[in-house]
Amino acid sequence: MVDTTVMSMAGLRILSGLIELSAAITMLLLNDVKKAIAVNALLAIVGPIILITTMTIGLVSLADQLSYSKLIYIGLGVGLILYGIYK
C-alpha cells in the first residue's frame, strides 16, 4: 500500500508534468515567439510553487522524526535552491 504522503507528493509532480505538457502544446498551437515566452514565464511561477508544496508535505510528514537543526538545514537548502532559481 502506498503512503498517503508519498501519493500526495507524486500527485503534485504528475500535475506539474501535465501543466508542462499543456504549456508545450499551447506554445506549438500559438506559434508565436512572444506568446511562447509569456507561457514560459508562467511556468517559471508554477515550478517553485510545486517544489515548495511538495517539500512542505514531505517535511510535515517527517517533522516528528527529524531534529530542529536538520529541519533548519533542509529549509536553508530549499531557500538556496529558490535563490538560485531567481538570481
Rounded Cα distance, 84 and 10, in Å: 24
The whole-model pTM stands at 0.73
Name the pLDDT band for 60 (thresholds 50, 70, 90): confident
CB 12 within 8 A of CB 53: yes
Model pLDDT for residues 9-56, shown as the tens digit of each residue: 999 999 999 999 999 999 999 999 999 999 999 888 888 889 889 988
C-alpha count within 13 angstroms, C-beta hemisphere, residue 45: 5
Rounded Cα distance, 16 and 61, in Å: 21
